[in-house]
Amino acid sequence: MSLFDKVSKDIQEAMKAGQKVRLEALRAIKTAFILAKTETGAAELPPDQELKILQKMIKQRRESADIYKAQNRMDLYQQEADEVSVIEQYLPGQLSEAEVTAILQRILVQVGATSPKDMGKVMAAAGKELSGKADNRMVAEKVKEMLSAK
C-alpha cells in the first residue's frame, strides 16, 4: 500500500472517529501529494519524493509554530504542533543525535573535509544518506560544529 493510499484510508478513519486535528493534517498531506502528482504528471509519486513533501510540511509547521509562540498565540501554536505530530507518524524512524554524529564522522572522512569551507561537500553527501532519517537543521548544525572543531 502506497503512502497516498494509507493517508486516504486514515482520513476515513479520522472522520469516523471525529478527530478534527488529525483529519486536517491528513487532508493537508493528501492535498500536497495530489499537487505534486499534477505538477509532475506522474500517476504515483516515488517514495523519496513523498518523504520530501512530508519533511517540508513539518518544517513549515514548525516555523509557523515558532512564530505563533513568539507572538504568544498559544492556540495557533498548539494546532501547528499537533499537526506536526500527526505528519511525523508517516516518516520513517528518525535517527538519534549520536547515530547522526557517527554517520557524519564517516562522511567527513570520505569527502576529506577539513574546514568549514567544505560544508557544501559534506551536506551534499549527508543529504543523500540521511534523507528522511534526520532533521536537516540538526544535521547542518552538527556539520558546522564538527568542521569548526577541526
Per-residue model confidence as pLDDT tens digits over 77-98: 999 999 999 999 998 887 888 8
Residues 11 and 72 in one domain: yes
Residues 101 and 84 in one domain: no
Q: Are 145 and 105 in contact (CB under 8 A)?
A: no
Residues 10 and 81 in one domain: yes
Taking 70 as the threshold, does the pLDDT of residue 133 lie above it?
A: yes
Q: What is the mean pLDDT of the chain?
A: 90
Residues 10 and 80 in one domain: yes
Q: Are 21 and 29 in contact (CB under 8 A)?
A: no
Q: Which of 105, 100, 87 is nearest to 131 (CA)?
A: 100
DSSP states of 7-42 as a string?
A: HHHHHHHHHHHT-HHHHHHHHHHHHHHHHHHHHHT-
**CATH number of the domain residue 67 falls in:** 1.10.1510.10
Domain stop point among 88, 112, 130: 88
Average pLDDT over residues 13-30: 95
Q: Which domain holds residue 128?
A: 97-149
Structure-model confidence comparison of residues 51 and 13, the more confident one: 13
Q: Which of 72, 133, 134, 139 is nearest to 104 (CA)?
A: 139
Q: Which pLDDT does position 150 carry in this prediction? A: 63
Q: Which pLDDT does position 96 carry in this prediction? A: 84
Structure-model confidence comparison of residues 62 and 129, the more confident one: 62
Rounded-to-integer distance, Cα 89 and Cα 73, Å:
25
Domain stop point among 40, 60, 88: 88
Residues 65 and 115 in one domain: no
What is the model's pTM? 0.74
pLDDT band at 13 (very low <50, low <70, confident <90, very high): very high
